[in-house]
Amino acid sequence: MADGPAFHRLGVDLRRTQLLELGERLFTTHAYTELSMSAIAREAGISKALLYHYFPSKQAYFEATLHNAVEDLRVRTAPDPSLAPAVQLQRSLDAYLAWIEEHADAYTHLLRTAREVAEVRALVEGVRQSTAARILQALPGDPPPAARTAVRGWLWFMDGACLDWIEERDVDREALRELLLGTLAGALLAAGARLPDVDPDT
Amino acid sequence: MADGPAFHRLGVDLRRTQLLELGERLFTTHAYTELSMSAIAREAGISKALLYHYFPSKQAYFEATLHNAVEDLRVRTAPDPSLAPAVQLQRSLDAYLAWIEEHADAYTHLLRTAREVAEVRALVEGVRQSTAARILQALPGDPPPAARTAVRGWLWFMDGACLDWIEERDVDREALRELLLGTLAGALLAAGARLPDVDPDT
Q: What is the pLDDT of residues B19-58, one digit of tens each?
A: 999 998 898 888 788 899 999 999 999 999 999 999 999 9
pLDDT the model gives residue A199: 54
3-state class percentages of chain B: helix first, strand second, coil last, to nearest 5: 75, 0, 25
Q: How far off is chain B from A165, nearest CA to CA, in Å? A: 7
Average pLDDT taken over every residue of chain B: 87
Confidence of residue B71 (pLDDT cuts 50, 70, 90): confident
pLDDT at A58 over 60: yes
Contact residues for A85 (Cβ-Cβ < 8 A; gap 6+): A138, A196
d(CA B90, CA B74): 15
pLDDT the model gives residue B11: 79
CA dihedral B106, B109, B111, B112 (to 10 degrees): 180
pLDDT the model gives residue A45: 93
Of A121, A159, A165, the CB nearest to B156: A159
Does ipTM exceed 0.90? Answer: no
**Residue type for A51, please?**
L
Of A150, A161, A182, the CB nearest to B152: A161
What 8-state DSSP symbol labels residue A142? -
pLDDT the model gives residue B196: 82
Of A164, A168, A189, the CB nearest to B153: A164
Q: How far off is chain A from B123, nearest CA to CA, in Å? A: 15
pTM score over 0.80: yes
Tens of pLDDT, residue by residue over B154-200, are 999 999 999 999 999 999 999 999 999 999 999 999 999 999 875 54
Q: What is the largest CA-CA distance in chain B?
A: 69
Return the higher-pLDDT residue of B110 and A34: A34
Chain B CB contacts of A158 below 8 Å: 153
d(CA B151, CA B149): 6
pLDDT at A3 over 50: no
Return the higher-pLDDT residue of B71 and B187: B187
pLDDT the model gives residue B27: 85
pLDDT at A106 over 70: yes
Chains A–B, number of C-beta pairs less than 8 Å apart: 134
pLDDT the model gives residue B9: 59
pLDDT the model gives residue B166: 95
- With CA atoms as reference, the chain B residue closest to A169 would be B145
pLDDT at B4 over 60: no
A201 touching B (Cβ < 8 Å): no
3-state class percentages of chain A: helix first, strand second, coil last, to nearest 5: 75, 0, 25
Of A152, A170, A187, the CB nearest to B186: A187
Tens of pLDDT, residue by residue over B91-120, are 999 999 999 998 888 888 777 776 667 777
Are residues B149 and A168, on separate chains, in Cβ contact within 8 Å? yes
Choose the mutation target among A97, A159, A179 for the interface with B, i.e. most B CBs under 10 Å: A179
Percent of chain A exceeding pLDDT 90 equals 54
pLDDT the model gives residue A8: 56
Contact residues for B186 (Cβ-Cβ < 8 A; gap 6+): A182, A183, A185, A186, A187, A189, A190
B112 touching A (Cβ < 8 Å): no
The DSSP-derived string for A15-59 is HHHHHHHHHHHHHHHS-GGG--HHHHHHHHTS-HHHHHHH-SSHH
Confidence of residue A7 (pLDDT cuts 50, 70, 90): low
pLDDT the model gives residue A202: 42
Mean pLDDT of B130-144: 91
Among B71-75, B126-130, B131-135, name the most confident range.
B131-135
Mean pLDDT of A172-189: 96
Crossing angle of helices B104-116/B5-29, nearest 10°?
70
Are residues B156 and A152, on separate chains, in Cβ contact within 8 Å? no
